[in-house]
Amino acid sequence: MKATEYRERTLEELNLMLRDLQQDIFNLRFQHATGQLDNISRLRMARRDLARLKTVIREHEIGIRAVVSKKEAGAAG
């Protein structure tokens, strides 16, 4: 997913996605260690998505960019 797509989500959604990605990376690393991972590039893509997600969350924390709030998300959709 691109960073612009992450910026369209609410902060609550981003935090849920963060936990999901961390769990996915753990599972992919475990599969890689046991030799069960067929597509190793999935691990690299997941790590990059995690970095993008953390960057967007950090941008919101320090005030560079505002993340969509629940009210704005409800009004837009």
pTM greater than 0.85? no
Range of the domain at 34: 3-76
Segment 8-45, tens digit of pLDDT: 898 899 999 999 999 999 999 999 999 999 999 999 99
According to the model, what pLDDT value does residue 75 have?
63
- Name the domain count of the chain: 1
CATH number of residue 34's parent domain: 1.10.287.310
Contacts with 18 (C-beta within 8 Å, 6 or more apart), sequence order: 50, 53, 54, 57
What value does the mean pLDDT take over residues 54-70? 82
Specify the higher pLDDT residue, 20 or 2: 20
